Amino acid sequence: MREKIRRKEGKSLAELREKRQQDEMKKLADERRRQKIEDEKARRAVLDRIKQDRAAKQAERESEKKETVTNTNTVEVKQPATPAAPKEYTECRLQLRLPTGQPVVNTFKSEETLGDVAAFIRDTAGLETFG
């Protein structure tokens, strides 16, 4: 008799556990579905915002074109800006890291060669073999 009661209680506990697991699985599935729907809504909202921004920019460009056309009809055409003369650089600043990890910084003239840079490093760092 006790054995039958114990078995019955064991079955009911197992059924309760299984039902609880199924309920949890359903809740997780519902949560995933809800999250997926929310993500899709957010994605659509972002895409709509991008579309609106593009349309606004396009409208702005068109209005600028119209203004330019009306301005060119009434006002002299603007001359394109002359490009600035290229800069003449006479110096170069190099920072090199020695094998010890110590940085070495020096400014070299533009006429100096890499051999001069190597000689500077050899003299400064006291390296006998460099290069």
d(CA 130, CA 114): 12
> Is 90 exceeded by the pLDDT of residue 100?
no
d(CA 23, CA 38): 22
Give the Cα-Cα-Cα angle 63, 65, 66 (nearest 5 degrees): 65
| pTM of the predicted structure, to 2 decimals | 0.39
> Is 60 exceeded by the pLDDT of residue 94?
yes
Outline where DSSP puts E strands in the chain.
91-97, 103-109
**Predicted pLDDT of residue 88:** 87
